[in-house]
A and B are shown apart, each in its own frame.
Chain A
């Protein structure tokens, strides 16, 4: 027998439909590409020296927004770490950890082909991540993308040889400290830049626009954000793999 939908369900879906209709109606007016956008992009490139105008916005005009984005990411990683390591039933209150809802996930079978492929692919994937971060202000890419690509490379190795094997090569505490150290450095540089009056301050010598060092602080920001995202991404991946099958 089919249940009758409740009133709040109907209202929610109707509201969503209304919002979607509004989007469809207003979308043609919302586009601001063309001459206005071209002029704005020219100004951005002239002021930051970066060919990637998206990067100029993210790390220039909207730097404050990006800093809070990095903070939200860091707090989420901290929350995942805290909840998975200490969350769940409280053993002191007589609530033992259980393994009853889902069967534990079986270990991935050791495969020579997978292991060798992972070791073969890891260096180029990591190199691509570094490239995306370093040239992020000149071409498509950036710190977030570069860090995510490098973390995926490590995930590939973790899937092939086991997360524990990979984790043994790292000092988890040192990685966590490094992660928060990078956040502190990013915030410190941004604070100094803001105090000096502009996100792109004269702390680094301005280069030729379009060249690798032409973006000033954008290169440094991208590299630091890439390290942060790489470490945070690895922490989340590692924790989820380590705690799989515990629920």
Chain B
């Protein structure tokens, strides 16, 4: 039986991918990317939650059964990279919206096709 956090992460991941593919609005696509990222983070930190382990930030004298610190280190990287990518993607969306006056991916594709048509 998987821990509840892993199950929630799996559901969030499917919702995120579904929204990323189905929604045409670029802002919604970014929100979906954020959801996928959050589900990944939840998965990593839930892996040890099924055990009654201590946080891996304890003096060695009181250390008995600690959680694996590697997923937590990976989460730190995931949060920073996610923030950076989200900020950059948001700027791209702002520039596209400024140029094409819409955040609809399909309309932007059509406008670009019209522009590039000889």
User: Given the interface contacts A31-B47, A80-B87, does A37 sit within 8 Å of B67 by beta carbon?
Assistant: yes
A21: Cβ under 8 A from any B Cβ: yes
User: Given the interface contacts A12-B21, A76-B88, does A54 sit within 8 Å of B65 by beta carbon?
Assistant: no
Among A41-49, A156-164, A167-175, A186-194, the stretch that binds chain B is A41-49
Q: Is there an interface contact between A95 and B99, defined as CB atoms closer than 8 Å? A: yes
- Residue of A13, A25, A84, A142 near B76 (CB, 8 A) is A142
Query: Chain B residues with Cβ under 8 A from A33's Cβ?
Result: 48, 51, 53, 65-68
Whole-angstrom distance between the alpha carbons of A130 and B33 in the complex?
Answer: 31
Query: Chain B residues with Cβ under 8 A from A246's Cβ?
Result: 94, 98
Q: Is there an interface contact between B10 and A24, defined as CB atoms closer than 8 Å? A: yes
A52: Cβ under 8 A from any B Cβ: yes
Main SS at interface, chain B: helix
A184: Cβ under 8 A from any B Cβ: no
- Residue of B7, B13, B73, B103 near A16 (CB, 8 A) is B13
The residue in chain A whose Cβ has the minimal distance to the Cβ of B17 is A16
Query: Chain A residues with Cβ under 8 A from B76's Cβ?
Result: 54, 58, 142, 144
Q: Is there an interface contact between B65 and A34, defined as CB atoms closer than 8 Å? A: yes
Query: Chain B residues with Cβ under 8 A from A52's Cβ?
Result: 56-57
B111: Cβ under 8 A from any A Cβ: no
Minimum CB–CB distance from B5 to chain A (whole Å) comes to 9
How many of chain B's residues touch chain A, expressed as a range? 35 or more
Q: Is there an interface contact between B91 and A79, defined as CB atoms closer than 8 Å? A: yes
B106: Cβ under 8 A from any A Cβ: no
Whole-angstrom distance between the alpha carbons of A35 and B98 in the complex?
Answer: 56
B interface, CB within 8 angstroms of A: 1-3, 6-7, 9-11, 13-14, 16-18, 20-22, 43, 46-48, 50-51, 53, 55-60, 63-70, 72-73, 76-77, 79-81, 83-85, 87-88, 90-92, 94-95, 97-99, 101-103
A interface, CB within 8 angstroms of B: 5, 8-9, 12-13, 15-17, 19-21, 23-25, 27-28, 30-38, 40-42, 44-46, 51-54, 56-58, 62, 65-66, 69, 72-73, 75-77, 79-80, 83-84, 87-89, 95, 97-98, 100-101, 139-140, 142, 144, 210, 229, 236, 240, 243, 246-247
Q: List 12 A-B contacts (CB under 8 A).
A: A27-B47, A32-B68, A32-B70, A33-B65, A33-B67, A34-B51, A38-B65, A53-B57, A76-B87, A88-B95, A95-B99, A98-B101
**Apart from A16-B13, A31-B48, A32-B48: 20 A-B pairs, beta carbons within 8 A:** A8-B21, A13-B17, A16-B18, A23-B10, A24-B2, A27-B3, A28-B50, A33-B51, A33-B67, A34-B51, A37-B56, A37-B69, A44-B69, A46-B60, A57-B69, A58-B73, A58-B76, A73-B81, A87-B91, A247-B94
